[in-house]
């Protein structure tokens, strides 16, 4: 099976102080054990890198780069996905859902992915199956 991974899950996996740390690590290890195929976008990677660098530091960023990035299928947001995401954001008129989320929604639809590892409730609102 294939699963999309969001920034919130990546961050929780790496931050031992995060309230979802243990749960996220357990889920991630189970997904690896089940040989799930991991997907994300370059926009999620950028968002995650910036968050880790600013909040957790370079050692955590190195762990992300060395241990997680190699097992990801990173899909590049092209002009079409970017434009659909910005249009969706503006049409929805909800400032509490990020542009990056909208790119993820569109990328998941484009890839035919239904399941996402995230702690962001907006994915469920969009009709995706979320873990946890």
3-state SS record for the chain: CEEEECHHHHHHHHCCCCCCHHHHHHHHHHHHHCCCEEEEEHHHHHHHHHHHHHHCCHHHHHHHHHHHHHHEEEECCCHHHHHHHHHHHHHHCCCCCCHHHHHHHHHHHHHCCCEEECCCCHHHHCCCEEEC
Q: How many Å separate Cα 105 from the centre of its chain?
A: 10
Neighbouring CB atoms inside 10 A of 119's CB total 19
Domain residue ranges in the chain: 2-76+113-131
pLDDT in tens, 61-99: 999 999 999 999 999 999 999 999 999 999 999 889 999
> For 25-65, how does the pLDDT look when each residue is reduced to its tens digit (9 = 90+)?
999 999 999 999 999 999 999 999 999 999 999 999 999 99
Number of H helices, E strands in the chain: 7, 5
CATH for the stretch 2-76+113-131: 3.40.50.1010
Over residues 10-14, mean pLDDT: 97
Instruction: Name the CA radius of gyration of the chain, rounded.
Output: 14
């Amino acid at each position: 099976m294939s699963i999309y991974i969001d920034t919130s899950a990546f961050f929780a996996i790496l931050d031992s102080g995060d309230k979802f740390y243990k749960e996220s690590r357990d889920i991630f290890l189970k997904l690896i054990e089940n040989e799930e195929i991991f997907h994300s976008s370059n926009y999620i990677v950028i968002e995650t890198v910036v968050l880790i660098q600013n909040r957790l530091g370079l050692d955590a960023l190195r762990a992300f780069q060395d241990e997680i990035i190699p097992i990801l299928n990173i899909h590049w947001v092209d002009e079409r996905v970017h434009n659909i995401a910005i249009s969706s954001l503006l049409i929805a008129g909800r400032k509490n859902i990020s542009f990056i989320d909208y790119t993820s929604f569109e990328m998941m639809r484009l890839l035919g992915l239904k399941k996402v590892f995230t702690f962001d409730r907006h994915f469920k609102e969009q009709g995706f199956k979320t873990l946890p």
